Amino acid sequence: MAKTKNTEPKTDDLKSDVQVFITPEVQKGVYSNITLIHHTENEFIFDFLMKFGNETQLVSRVILSPKHMKALLDAATDNFKKFEEKYIEEKK
């Protein structure tokens, strides 16, 4: 039986090896004050909405595989912990 090698880069590898071209429009970002998260067996769907008054607009949709969702969840947890240590703990 032939062995297969996982050639997919690790998340840490992507930080230093990938050069990303960002258009000026994308670089501006979008503001969202509501996020809806849906999932199927094969993907997680984030709908970022902006509610202002009686109007709610979808400003972005991001679709992730379960593997990338787990990496995002881990990174967000780690970053939020660092945020709390720096900004919340300092104020106590």
Q: Contact 56/35 with Cβ under 8 angstroms? A: no
> Quick check: is 23 in a domain?
no
What are the tens digits of pLDDT across the range 5-58? 444 555 555 556 889 999 999 999 999 999 999 999 999 999 999 999 999 999
Band of residue 89 on the pLDDT scale cut at 50, 70, 90: confident
pLDDT the model gives residue 91: 72
> Quick check: is 78 in a domain?
yes
CA 39-42-45 angle, 5° bins? 35
Band of residue 92 on the pLDDT scale cut at 50, 70, 90: low
Dist CA 75 CA 69 (whole Å): 10
The total of structural domains in the chain comes to 1
Domain that holds residue 82: 30-91
Q: Tell the burial category of 59 from Cβ atoms under 10 Å away from its Cβ (0-12, 13-18, 19+).
A: middle
